[in-house]
Each structure stands twice: as structure tokens, then as C-alpha cells.
């Protein structure tokens, strides 16, 4: 006797699945289209930087941004710009020696430690020690790796104020973990609430709109 649709563990509503898939593609397509208006002199600056380089382009990232970074490196390499990918975790086990740079900058902040223990000063200090112990250049004293985390002990309000002082375009920044279908920040998740508090305490307006 054939199994009924309801009895199958893989049963799903075909029309709902198609509707969802179409909606996902439409959202992704809109997001790509929205990038057209964001191409400006900053893109030209990046192109100029890459064309004017002496060595190879190093692309790095972890988690999903690591997958994207690996793809970017491979596309650059196959289209004539020598590039390679460095995994940030493997960098601390010797791969930093590939980059031939001594100063590493990271924008982590200790207030995010509950979800990200690697945002704490203890981790950054330990990483720096390991980087110097795990690379030939560090052990031989030819290089001294330093990890700079200029935002690590600031409050969110201080970070917002500093960004305004430096003229950073905060409309290009993103904090929300649970955005609405139309792309707006939810305004309710932990990250949105921390961001709102930071802007409020800095007495500055957030250029990124939220749904609530
Ligand atoms: Zn949110």
C-alpha cells in the first residue's frame, strides 16, 4: 500500500515550498540589485589598491564569510590578480608567516563576549602570543606580530561617537540577526537593542532604519 503524504517524514506542501523559494530568490535578487547604487569612489579606491599592490591579494574570513572569501580569492586568481585565502584560525598556527605583515587589526568589542568569547582582551592577547610562538618569523625574532583591537574596551556609545568623529558612514553598517522580509533591521533582537542603546547614549541618530 503506498504511503500517504501525511505519513511520510519528508512530506511538505508543494505550493508553499515553491512560494518560499520564489520569495527567497526575489529577496536575494533585490539585494544584488541594490548594490548597483552603492558602487562609488570607494569601489574605485579598492580597485586602485589592488592594481597598485606589490604582492598578492590576501583574502580572509571565518564561517560563512570564509566561504565567500575563499571564492573571492579563487575568482581573483583565475582572472589575473594573484590572490590567496588565509583562514584566520590557521593563521595562528603558522599561516601568518604567509602574509608577511606584522600588524593585524580587528574590530571586536568585549561587550559581545557572552556570545563570542573570542571578543575578550584575554583571547586577543593569547592569539598574539600564539602567533609569535607558532611562526618561524616570530620565533626567530624576524617579525613581531601585533594584534590591534582599538574598539575592544569601548562602550557601544563610545564606538558610535568615535565613528562620527572619524566620518564613518554608519548607514553601511549592519547589526541585526533577525531582519524583516523587506530587509529592515528588526529592532528587537539582542544586537539591535545593543545598537539602539549605543546610539541613544551617544545622543546620535542611527541612519539604519528598524522595523520597530
Ligand atoms: Zn535585529
Ligand 1 centre to CA of 183 (Å) is 11
pLDDT for 175-189, tens place per residue?
A: 999 999 888 999 999
Question: What is the mean predicted confidence (pLDDT) over 160-175?
Answer: 92
State the Cα–Cα distance between residues 19 and 95, nearest whole angstrom.
Answer: 45
Q: Determine the Cα–Cα distance for residues 120 and 13; give it in Å rounded to an integer.
A: 46
pLDDT of residue 7: 55
Distance 45 CA to ligand 1 centre (A): 31
What local confidence, expressed as pLDDT, does residue 145 receive?
Answer: 86
Evaluate whether 158 touches 120 at the Cβ level (below 8 Å): no
Question: How sure is the predictor about 1, in pLDDT bands with cuts at 50, 70 and 90?
Answer: very low
Sign of the dihedral through C-alpha 154, 106, 195, 63: negative
Which has the closest alpha carbon to 93: 147, 131, 142, 138?
131
CA atoms within 13 A on the CB side of 114: 4
> Cα of 196 to ligand 1 centre, how many Å?
10
Q: What is the mean pLDDT of residues 104-133?
A: 91
- Distance of CA 147 to CAs 90, 115, 166, Å? 15, 21, 21
- Distance of alpha carbon 83 from alpha carbon 62, whole angstroms: 17
95 compared with 167, residue with greater pLDDT:
167
- C-alpha 178 to ligand 1 mean position (Å): 5
Kindly give the pairing relationship between strand 103-105 and strand 146-148. parallel
CA of 176 to the centre of ligand 1 (A): 4
Q: How confident is the model at residue 134 (pLDDT cuts 50, 70, 90)?
A: confident
Counting every residue, how long is the chain?
212
Separation between Cα atoms, residue 62 and residue 91, nearest integer Å = 11
CA of 15 to the centre of ligand 1 (A): 29
State yes or no: pLDDT of 3 exceeds 60: no
Exposure b/e, 65-75, CB count within 10 A at least 16 = b: ebeebbebbee
- Angle, alpha carbons 138-140-145 (nearest 5°): 15
* Nearest residue to 177 via CA among 163, 193, 154: 193
- % of the chain surpassing 70 pLDDT: 96
Distance, CA 180 to ligand 1 centroid (Å)? 9
Instruction: Give the lowest-confidence range in 56-70, 72-86, 97-111.
Output: 97-111
pLDDT score of 140 more than 80: yes
- Supply the angle between the helices 156-166 and 190-201 in degrees, to the nearest 10: 60
Ligand 1: distance of its center to the CA of 39 in Å? 26
Q: How far apart are CA 103 and CA 100, in angstroms?
A: 10
- Work out the mean pLDDT of the chain and round it to a whole number: 89
* Gap from CA of 184 to ligand 1 centroid (Å): 9
Amino acid at each position: 500500500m503506498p504511503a500517504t503524504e501525511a505519513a511520510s517524514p519528508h512530506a511538505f506542501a508543494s505550493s508553499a515550498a515553491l512560494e518560499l523559494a520564489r520569495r527567497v530568490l526575489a529577496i536575494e535578487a533585490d539585494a544584488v540589485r541594490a548594490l548597483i547604487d552603492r558602487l562609488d569612489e570607494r569601489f574605485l579606491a579598492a580597485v586602485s589598491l589592488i592594481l597598485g599592490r606589490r604582492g598578492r591579494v590576501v583574502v580572509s574570513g571565518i564561517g560563512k564569510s570564509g566561504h565567500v572569501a575563499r571564492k573571492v580569492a579563487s575568482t581573483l586568481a583565475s582572472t589575473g590578480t594573484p590572490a590567496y585565502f588565509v583562514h584566520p584560525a590557521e593563521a595562528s598556527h603558522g599561516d601568518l608567516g604567509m602574509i608577511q605583515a606584522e600588524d593585524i587589526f580587528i574590530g571586536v568589542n568585549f561587550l559581545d563576549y557572552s556570545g563570542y568569547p573570542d571578543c575578550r582582551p584575554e583571547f586577543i592577547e593569547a592569539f598574539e602570543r600564539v602567533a609569535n610562538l607558532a611562526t618561524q618569523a616570530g620565533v626567530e625574532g624576524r617579525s613581531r606580530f601585533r594584534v590591534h583591537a582599538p574598539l575592544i574596551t569601548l562602550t557601544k556609545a563610545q564606538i558610535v561617537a568615535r565613528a562620527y568623529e572619524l566620518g564613518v558612514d554608519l548607514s553601511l553598517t549592519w547589526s541585526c540577526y533577525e531582519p524583516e522580509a523587506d530587509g529592515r533591521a528588526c529592532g528587537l533582537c539582542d544586537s539591535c537593542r545593543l545598537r539602539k542603546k549605543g546610539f541613544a547614549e551617544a545622543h546620535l541618530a542611527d541612519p539604519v532604519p528598524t522595523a520597530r
